[in-house]
Structure 1
Amino acid sequence: MLGRRELLTLVGAAAAVTLVPGCTSGPGPTPSAPPTPRPASTAVDADRIAALVEAMPKRSVGDLAATRLAPGLTPPTNRWFSGLVFGEQAQPVFPLPLGVALVEGGFEMWLPQVAVSEKAIIGQRTAGMTLTTAGVSSALVTGYDVASVTIELRDAAGAGVLALRLTQGVPGVSVTALQAVSVAAQVPWTGSGVATVGTTSFGVRGGQVSGQDVRLAAGEAAVFFAAPPGVDPATLREHATPVTGTSVTWESGEDTVSTSLSFGTATLHVAMPHHEAAIVDPGESLGSYPSVYGPLTLRYAATLTWTAPRWPVAPALDLSGLSEADRRTIADVAARDLAATRPAPADTYFGGKALYRESQLLSIAGQVGVDATNQRATVTAEIEAWAQPGAADERATRCFVYDEAARGIVGLESSFGSELFNDHHFHYGYFLHAAGTLAVDDPGLAERLAPVFDLLAADIASPQDSGLFPALRGFDVYAGHSWASGVSPFADGNNQESSSEAVNAWAGLMLWARARGDAALEAQATWLHALEAQTALAYWLQPDLSAFPGYTHRIVGLGWGAKRDYATWFSPNPEALLMIQVIPAGPGMTYLAHAPDQIPATVAEAIGAGGFARTYADYCLMYASLADRAGAIAALPQVSGIIDDGLTETYVTAFVLSR
């Protein structure tokens, strides 16, 4: 239902199905963010999903090792803070503009120092403020919501000592004493609550300051914060309000979506460049922090509100404007592709891509008058095989199970660490896109696929934490994009490589919602699609890199919490760098045509003088066609026979000719 305000609260529920914004287990800050109404009835509503989960085989495929998570919480995979929860050693996390790490007896906070090389923009760990409390021996994540996480520091007996809240966009750590304590810094505070470590000036608001110590009574809160370069922390002190919970509201209009992230109270927070470009009611700037994503503008307000363009999403390419000659060309290629035999992989990544590929081929064939009746029956049978709820009790591939420990859907033949919840939105986006395309005019097929495919949708996009699935598993509302690593065992934070497959996930969700007649889920998918496309352009495909003159490339391959790399996980070749920001170049990825004047130089960097006759260059050619149709048509013969497994020659030809 476009034009209607939708509300989401993302929480870690202390009880399996209890929805409490910003909750913690045990004593801690009382959330001030108001409870959010449940979303409108949808195919992924918690009650309906519970019945679907009940019908699925139950199996733990991968051990997430959630060693620092309070009992009862839904495991927070694919979050900016996942490294705090999983694995033997807690990893640093990066709630911009800060870096924060757990250390013996407490925590350390710092402002990453930006260092630039030809292929990397790195937020180096600098000398930071270390804050410790006597008796602290362990740490446990006890709650999380849309943009913050609560960590309880405990003593040897398991009693809570301090509750820390880290919040995306907030340059301070909110600390609440769970008993009377003294928090010690490694340097003394001035009378105005200011201390300097290295080149960073820190401030504190709350408690009783005495030398290096800040004494807090039980239940008392303080904020330790870092000031922007050149700004006296004392001038910001009264604005450093403790955050007690975050929530989000969004609204989808005809041309844009609007997102409002609430911090529960007016406090210091920063806007990233994509916020700044479309911010609503920005207010006074209080300074700026450097970061690997560009300057972060500091303000004081209760909410951060920004807009993002909406991009049209269709199930198939629109070939209605083609000439008869072009239609005959596509028809000839489609006849060959339909006659060919292509593998149907059994894992969730390549299996989903294959279904997506075949659904697009069938759609194009239908538009150019090529009979594909037999092939449609084959593809329909294949996708229905994946959609059998109990298939995992009968076979070891082409099936899904529900992992009760991890709280999610996992394919039995996993790939790229999907058993640890890596890349679920990439994988399931292909399945949902294929289903939405094949069932666009076939409600009976949608109904047959729904018992499993609604669970795939819930796995990546549940609108609330139901206890069976987390809310929006990998999507970071503040950052405006998804995170791909399930458990994030990295010192640079979480990461995402394929911005385009992330956008494709929400296009697929939108198409599936349409096939299901689910207006509420379609509206949610529209919002996610708009935000992910906005940041895909801003930070990966068409980034403004003017703040990083030593970085010599036009695109970014990997975005992390603390760095950006001209690299991929699978290839150092320039064409692979561009491909992974374009794949699958689907009909729901119209944002790729943004700023066509930038496209030729980006393609030239990827392809060089060697032409398109190489692996992955089919995607580069399709991207090139968005700015130079004639040149791309002339180059089409170069990619013949070198087509990615997510494409057909039919699709590449139709894409280029329909520009």
Structure 2
Amino acid sequence: MTRVITRSTTEGPPRPHRRRRRITASTAALALAAAGLTAVLAPSAAADTVPVGSGSYTTDTVGATPRGCDAVTADPRAFVTDDAPSTPLPTNDWWSSLAFKVFDCAFSGPLHAHPASYQPSAGGLGISYTTTPSVTGTGVGISEYHYPYAQDLQAGVTGLAAPDVKVDDWTDWTVSPKWDDGARTLRATIGHGLPFAWFEATGGDARLTASGQATVWLDDGARLGLTVNGHDYLAFAPPGARWTASGSTYTAALGGDGFFSVAVLPDVDDAGRDSLVPAYTAAAYSPVTGTRADYDYDEAAGEVVTTYGFTTSPWPGTSGGDGTVAALYPHQGAHLRGASPAGPTYTSPRGDMPVLTGVEQFTTVTPFGPVLPEVPAVATSDGADRATLEAYLDQVADDPLDRRGPDTYWTGKALGRATRIVEIADQLGRTAQRDAALDAVRGVLDDWLTAESGETEGVFAYDDDWGTLIGYPASYGSDTELNDHHFHYGYYIAAAATLARFDPQWAADYGGMVDLLIRDANGYDRDETRFPYLRDFDIYAGHDWASGHGAFAAGNNQESSSEGMNFAGALVQWGEATGNTEVRDAGAYIYATQSAAIQRYWFDTDGTTYPEGFHNPVVGMVWGDGGSYSTWFSGEAEMIQGINMLPITGSHLYLGSDPAAVREAYAHLESVNGGPPTVWQDILWSQLALGDGDGALSRLTGSSYTPEEGETRAHTFHWVHNVAALGTVNTSVRADHPLAATFDGDGGRTHVAANVTSQDVTVTFSDGAVVEVPAGQTVATGAHSWSGGSAAGGPTDPTDPTDPTDPTDPTDPTCQGEPAPSVLHPAAGGVLAAQAPATGTLTVAPAGGATHDGTPHDPLVLEANGLTGAYDGGDTGFSLPVDAGTAVAHAVQARVSYDLTGDGSVDRTETYRYFATDPVGGTETYTTAAGLHSQSGALGDLCGGTVRLELWSALGTRPLEVTTGGSSTLTIPFG
């Protein structure tokens, strides 16, 4: 599939046409050449496979591997010092371009730490604090805002001329770059939320160089206060030292101490600035040497408690105080517990950042949820809506995957599509379709999670140098730049979670490989030695980053926040289905934290993030230094907004956290678009349903549209109709269970809880509601009452003598009849016989020159009545010898119907594609291999039921003959 832009920079959204370039090919080529990039494709070789349960991966190089500047391509740790941690190198971070050098092969791109930004160069570390945004584009539509790097100061060592900068250390949200020119060294520590940069130096004096006119507002020896470009800074030399000025350069002798620090101050007036000096002085001499976030999913309270800790180490001979100064992102400040930020704030691309002084740790308590496997069928379980939904399900029965490409992303999209079909079919009792879709999902997962010797496609390969697991074929830089692993692998994990519920043995067999995908994209285990901890998730910023290297002037970036949430929700469901609470809790932590961040930074729901002059209520992309109403792949408003909605699943109810914001965003889309959406309507209507159910329903009803590549009409119909009935999500009501949601609609409140385990659960909501949920089911109570779903771990053994519903139980007076044979035979007199009759023929009437594809016309009807038997989970099969003689253009078609209880009401119908006969005398065999034309209803146990076979001519003017006897069979799935 051709894409207009090579997405070597960020995630890969699902649209194969109408791409619009964001950079030109020539510009990209020049950038790559200047960076010294070389493409490395390893030669094909026999794969060294490593077994993991029933699955496996390869350790051989089977395709393109990460590449950057020549030194990085040869050795990923080329720009990492020997003193750095020996654990796998983090990627996809705000500082990744320090080590993963791509465009600048000596230093890095700007490092947007917030509140300050930094830029290394040969002479030291540049420092920027931009408070005036650059807003480009028109008033509405494609536009963007940035707080670009604009250097105020450079901090270094006199005479420093380092050939490059290397990474000397990192912690959860800090990094320590190091310069060394052979005579002088400089080591800095910088981080998210830290207004300080702490330095250790040898071989010279501390040096500060202002980029513009500097005004000195404090000069008392070791402390120097400067205002540069309207921004206030405090610099600290060792006690007893003194800063001296020479033009725009300030130096201080470090003696044997070798340390100094520089802090940017918040947005305050002169009096406020002076009042901050004591607190900042205490922090200046106690550099942060470690950061760590520890989280706890409090299931009983339905919230995630996260403690952000700072380790500080006073420099020798100083009176550094306890704790440090930290600025909080808005998503942290909104959920802060037990602390009161100081009055001043910093300007940032994420909104104002309040300040904590003297802080050793702070704690946030963030609501978790709502998450469900799928919204319940409260409106589509009966009546006309069910009939319509079943017709849509029939349309996708033959191919629930609809794969659009062989790579990890498009395979993942196909898995996501099929698992929605599984969930809906299960709710409606269409077990045959559910199980067929599960088989399709199982087949794809088995293939990808098993490596064969020499295999180069549909395989995962572990790269020990980079500490990563790459799926091949890769796409959108998931191999060469380590982009988007959380996007791609989230679909696999979500599909595995659904499959695990119905096939726990599969989860036991392949769970180790699923766990490796989790550990690669966002490893939850700090003791892991194969992958970095939380690769894609920025612990302090509260959201994922998509680019592996993040080496752009605007920093790292991410479009599809919703695909990141797909990963988080998948962890919750996989952990819950398999009993792995460590994975479940990691998913809850990412989900709760990122949901809070998305509401503010992608959707600006409280109106405090985007700067004045940026007239869009949402962004398509978040950048390190800002945001943009755009995507890497399209300028269409539908895709700019839709990329942060898909895939629509039960893990995406957070999209309706603010119904008014949902309505505003949709209205904005129609305004920018000049009318209703013309692409991705299903995605947009599905989110609109969370804010305006009636509006979404009216747009969907009677519409003609092309489903987004990961969607189906069946799922969109199911979602919009049921969400419209339920109402809007009430996020203020929490549950003591990870899979629960509350909706407020016109008829009142509905509580929904899902149970993907094999044990019954009781779910209690914070408003006092209690819901009993049997194993494997989803239950809705309140304004809407509904329950559905199958028991986890597969169906109950139908021959279990303790099962009161056992249809073969002779004590059950309602299920008397002949035991159903597994094979029936067409026979004379309209009979399906248990014993094969003598060889003969049955005549099928001609089609009369018309086409009767899918609709019986004067059919030959054959029945078996009064049958009792347990459904064994299998499929219908038939093998029918037919002959049209020498007639041309004839075809036979079959329909099999099941009336499970013999009450005259058909419960399951399967219509098969017609079989075109040849004009040569002699029989040909018509079988179920022809494939389903359509299907409806669901199979279950036979209780005095009827099985019917209808045969008719779909084409032709002459009769057809069906041969009877032992070779003519109808196989039915009953024991």
TM-score (norm 2): 0.60
Structure 1 unmatched runs, 5+:
1-47
Shift of 1:55: 5.4
| Residue 291 (str. 1) matches residue 348 (str. 2) | yes
User: Equivalents in 2 of 1:367, 1:50: separation in Å?
Assistant: 33
Show CA shifts across 1:100-127 (max 9, x none): 1102221111102332524222103334
Change beyond 3 A, Cα 1:542–1:49 = farther
Change beyond 3 A, Cα 1:353–1:552 = same
RMSD: 2.5
User: Equivalents in 2 of 1:54, 1:252: separation in Å?
Assistant: 32
SS in 1 for 2:685: helix
Given candidates 353, 359, 366, the residue that maps to 2:419 is 359
Shift of 1:209: 2.4
Given candidates 55, 66, 72, the residue that maps to 1:62 is 66
Deviating more after overlay: 205-214 vs 229-238: 229-238
SS in 1 for 2:397: helix
Change beyond 3 A, Cα 1:501–1:49 = farther
User: Equivalents in 1 of 2:457, 2:584: separation in Å?
Assistant: 30
Structure 2 unmatched runs, 5+:
1-49, 211-215, 245-249, 313-322, 724-975
Aligned to 2:293: 248
Show CA shifts across 1:494-519 (max 9, x none): 11111111111111122222233211
SS in 2 for 1:246: strand
| Residue 234 (str. 1) matches residue 244 (str. 2) | no
SS in 1 for 2:589: helix
Q: Which amino acid aligns with 1:338?
A: A
Deviating more after overlay: 124-133 vs 210-219: 210-219
Shift of 1:543: 3.7
Judge conservation of contact 2:55–2:449 (CA < 8 Å) in 1: no
User: Equivalents in 1 of 2:612, 2:473: separation in Å?
Assistant: 44
More strand by percentage:
2
| Residue 186 (str. 1) matches residue 224 (str. 2) | no
Judge conservation of contact 2:370–2:653 (CA < 8 Å) in 1: yes
User: Equivalents in 2 of 1:610, 1:124: separation in Å?
Assistant: 32
User: Equivalents in 2 of 1:54, 1:213: separation in Å?
Assistant: 59
User: Equivalents in 2 of 1:185, 1:222: separation in Å?
Assistant: 11
Aligned to 1:519: 581
| Residue 94 (str. 1) matches residue 112 (str. 2) | yes
Q: Which amino acid aligns with 1:190?
A: D
Show CA shifts across 1:173-200 (max 9, x none): 01123x3641111258722421232212
Given candidates 548, 566, 579, the residue that maps to 1:504 is 566
Change beyond 3 A, Cα 1:602–1:175 = same
Aligned residues: 607
Aligned to 1:333: 392
User: Equivalents in 2 of 1:314, 1:171: separation in Å?
Assistant: 40
Aligned to 1:411: 471
User: Equivalents in 2 of 1:510, 1:600: separation in Å?
Assistant: 29
Change beyond 3 A, Cα 1:183–1:567 = same
Change beyond 3 A, Cα 1:49–1:551 = farther
Change beyond 3 A, Cα 1:440–1:216 = farther
Aligned to 1:257: 304
Judge conservation of contact 1:331–1:369 (CA < 8 Å) in 2: no
Q: Which amino acid aligns with 1:398?
A: G
Shift of 1:594: 0.7
More helix by percentage:
1
Q: Which amino acid aligns with 2:194?
A: V
Given candidates 60, 75, 83, the residue that maps to 2:97 is 83
Judge conservation of contact 1:163–1:176 (CA < 8 Å) in 2: yes
Q: Which has the larger radius of gyration?
A: 2
Given candidates 128, 145, 149, the residue that maps to 1:121 is 145
User: Equivalents in 2 of 1:54, 1:106: separation in Å?
Assistant: 46
Show CA shifts across 1:325-378 (max 9, x none): 233322221111213572363101111111111011122112113331434323
| Residue 565 (str. 1) matches residue 661 (str. 2) | no
Judge conservation of contact 1:482–1:502 (CA < 8 Å) in 2: yes
| Residue 142 (str. 1) matches residue 191 (str. 2) | no
Given candidates 430, 440, 449, the residue that maps to 2:501 is 440
Aligned to 2:234: 203
Q: Which amino acid aligns with 1:198?
A: N
SS in 2 for 1:234: helix
User: Equivalents in 1 of 2:499, 2:675: separation in Å?
Assistant: 35
| Residue 555 (str. 1) matches residue 618 (str. 2) | yes
Judge conservation of contact 1:152–1:163 (CA < 8 Å) in 2: yes
Show CA shifts across 1:564-597 (max 9, x none): 1111111111111210111112111121121112
| Residue 385 (str. 1) matches residue 396 (str. 2) | no
| Residue 645 (str. 1) matches residue 709 (str. 2) | yes
Shift of 1:457: 0.7
Judge conservation of contact 1:286–1:299 (CA < 8 Å) in 2: no
User: Equivalents in 2 of 1:605, 1:367: separation in Å?
Assistant: 35
Change beyond 3 A, Cα 1:383–1:344 = farther
Show CA shifts across 1:463-484 (max 9, x none): 2263310000011111111111
Aligned to 1:269: 326
Shift of 1:607: 3.0
Deviating more after overlay: 224-233 vs 301-310: 224-233
User: Equivalents in 2 of 1:511, 1:520: separation in Å?
Assistant: 12
Aligned to 2:885: none
Given candidates 441, 444, 460, the residue that maps to 2:521 is 460
Judge conservation of contact 1:433–1:508 (CA < 8 Å) in 2: yes
Aligned to 1:602: 665
User: Equivalents in 1 of 2:56, 2:396: separation in Å?
Assistant: 40
Residue identity (%): 26
SS in 1 for 2:126: strand
Judge conservation of contact 2:421–2:437 (CA < 8 Å) in 1: no
